Structure 1
Amino acid sequence: MTPPTVHPAQRIVDLGFGFILSGALSTAAELGVADRLVQGPRSAASLAEELGVHAQSLYRVLRLLASVEVFAEDEAGRFSLTPAAEYLRTDAPGSLHSAVRMLTQKIFWAPTGELTQTVRTGQTPFDHIFGKPFFDYLTSDPVQGDIFHQGMSSLSDMENKAIAGSYDFTPLRRVVDVGGGHGGFLIEVLQAAPQVRGVLFDHAHVLSGSRVARAGLSERCELVEGDFFQAVPAGADAYVLKRILHDWNDETCVTLLRHCRSAMAEGGRVLVVDTVIPPGNGPHGGKVLDVMMLASLPGRERTEEDFRKLFAQADLKLSRILPTPTAMSITEAVAA
């Protein structure tokens, strides 16, 4: 049966209320509701007593989430897990608990509330809200920084295997993951291509959370501390920039790409893993991310032509764009 078409006026109202759902989802994640429903349905009153929160308020939040298939309420007023709610569990395979906490942080929420001013001026309000630029703020606040990095790892876990499987790494010998975080993507590359040796390159406080050792790959993967705006490890066949360039403006991206161009071995390549905005009016995850970048960071999501121009300024040329099963693409550049 075809679902009823939403009236255009109602669509506008629903979009206007979208932030309410984000707030409800954030609350469920922060309180750890999903973990407490693993053993079966429970009432909001029972959950509230265990969590030390207000029962009626919790009920109203869960009722809203149940209306969009995150949790389900039965006739007795008890809530249970749904396939979507399973991803809010902290111990579930592919858990998105940390990702939800990150995406609903004030570092994204508050600047988006001032998006009109951003459009008027072209400047993110992040600095005046939080007192310093995005990444400087995360470095200065260990709690918020940890939420961000754990969330990025969680979000990436959902896509890493599929993206790594979309590129043939088997001819390569050495791959550097520039700003590779906790190593989730590089782990997938190394597992898919046993002959590859990896370098996980990031700041020391990020590398302290590396998962390379737990994956049993320490002998094939070196952890290197550094600042990619100064230099990157030399001599690799491929430099991966996953969710990196979209954080920065064009000038900064060109600087980073030039470092990769100078460092790569003969016949090397740069692999940019970001969304590539397609033409047309169709929905695309990159369009949402792009406005998030607009509000909180100096970067943006880019089109194929945008990437072509960036590469040209760094003595590189776009060789191909490989789609993946995710919203991300692998944009490959080689020496010009």
Structure 2
Amino acid sequence: MENIDINTRIIMSMSQGFANTYLLYTACRLEIFDFIESNIDTSVELSKKIDIENVILEKILRPLVAYDFLEEQNTKYKLTEKGMLLTDKSPRSLKGYVLYCGGICAKSWAMMAEAAKDRKTPYSLAIGTELFAENRKDEKQYNTFNNMMNFVSEGVLLADFLNDIEDIKGKRIVDIGGGTGAIMTQFLKHFRSASGTIMDLEFVKEKALQKLKENSLLERCEFVSGDFFKPFSISGDIFVLSRVLHDWNDEDSIKILSHIRSNMTNDSILYIIELIIPESITRENVEVYMNDLQIWAVCGGTERTLSEYCNLFQKAGLKFEMCRKIRSGETILEVRLDTKMEEGEI
């Protein structure tokens, strides 16, 4: 292997990337980290609890030790700090993220070539239905998806942005498609006198209210059932749309924006949080390009450039004001009503 050139090593490493995905997915699916955390910590005990052959279990445990997820001493295993992140008990658990990547994303990526030729979404070709339709009828899958979204949303670092915007004392914040409230929680914890409304589909309600209760926000925030693809009526001063538009094509995105616009006044602000594809291709932005592929593979969506977003805004009767990139990599776009369209000049 010493004589293999650097380009060959890169190609080999990239080609075998699926192995690490499925190693972690398998360990999480079998709940290895959770069992070890609960002191079921020898391979014999684990194999009996999981109901797999011990010889197969040890094949899984060896690389987990080598990658520093586990430590092995005197036939007993214990979690490292890294391994703890893959348990249900970790406050910042990545278990849901891993289950999403291995259980949903990887299957979609495997069908990319066929889907591209058939002009279909890879996920729908792999599973036989669309992601969001499956989430509605499969509670287990929805929980996996929701855990991933919570992790991603909690990782959107809004603190610096919130410190710099004008205080919104007494104003109402409306998070459209706000899920279980990870973004709303950041807004309301920062602006103590503001109130909030989370709008999402009815089946999200129970988990959203549970999260609001955990954060002591039930008195200041309500959940309203609604579908952003249908007209709705909701009052608010600040509207938030976080990581929603990238899930949908242009036609659907314009419909979502138009429905929000119908609830805005000239004083309203819409903050849209998304990854932005740079206009020119650079190595440092490879994660954005890979995420663009991921969004298409899983739900037929797309990441966009700033100019592409501005085009959507114009078609929806909205006007781009400014944007700011935050520490976690997303960009916050400030959008307002296009008053010229209101006046019939466009």
Aligned residue for 1:296? 298
Counterparts of 1:329 and 1:66, CA distance in 2: 38
Cα gap change, 1:156/1:55 in structure 2, threshold over 3 Å: closer, same or farther? Answer: farther
298-307 or 147-156, which moves further after superposition?
147-156
Kindly provide the CA deviation profile for residues 102-137 of structure 1, in whole angstroms up to 9, marking residues without a partner as x. Answer: 2222x3222211111233344313334333222112
Q: Which residue of 2 aligns with 1:123?
A: 120
Distance in 2 (CA, whole Å) between partners of 1:124 and 1:191 is: 38
Identical residues among aligned pairs (%): 26
Code of the residue aligned with 1:248 in structure 2: it is W
- Tell me how far apart the structure 2 counterparts of residues 88 and 155 of structure 1 sit (CA, whole Å): 15
Q: Which residue of 2 aligns with 1:238?
A: 238
Does residue 174 of structure 2 align to residue 176 of structure 1?
A: yes
Work out whether residues 284 and 327 of structure 1, in 8 Å CA contact, stay in contact via their aligned partners in 2: no
Alpha-carbon RMSD across the aligned residues, in angstroms, is 2.4
Note the alpha carbon deviations across 1:170-191, whole angstroms, 9 max, x for none: 2261111111111121112101
Gaps of 5+ in 1: none
The 1:311/1:69 distance shift into structure 2, 3 A limit, reads farther
Which structure shows the bigger proportion of residues in helix conformation?
A: 2
CA–CA separation in structure 2 for the residues paired with 1:148 and 1:277: 24
Q: How many residues align?
A: 328
2:99 is equivalent to residue 101 of structure 1: yes
Question: Which residues in structure 2 correspond to 1:79-158 (within 5 Å)?
Answer: 79-105=77-103, 107-157=104-154
Alpha carbons of structure 1 residues 309 and 68: separation in structure 2 relative to 1, 3 Å: farther
User: Partner residue of 2:316?
Assistant: 314
How far did residue 27 of structure 1 move? Answer: 1.3
1:70-124: CA deviations, max 9, x gaps?
A: 33445x565432332221021112111222222222x322221111123334431
Stretch of structure 1 that moved more, 11-20 or 265-274: 265-274
Q: 2:326 aligns to what?
A: 324
Give the Cα separation in 2 of the matches to 1:10 and 1:103. 24
**Separation in 2, partners of 1:155, 1:6:** 37
* C-alpha distance in 2 between matches for 1:235 and 1:138: 28
* Cα displacement (A) at 1:267: 1.7
- Alpha-carbon distance in structure 2 between the residues aligned to 1:67 and 1:136: 39
Aligned to 2:199: 201
Contact 1:102/1:152 (<8 A) preserved: no
- Kept in 2: contact 1:236–1:265 (CA 8 A): no
Say if 2:173 is the partner of 1:163: no
**What is the TM-score with the length of structure 1 in the denominator?**
0.89
Query: What corresponds to 2:341 in structure 1?
Result: none
Q: Which moved more, 1:263-272 or 1:146-155?
A: 146-155
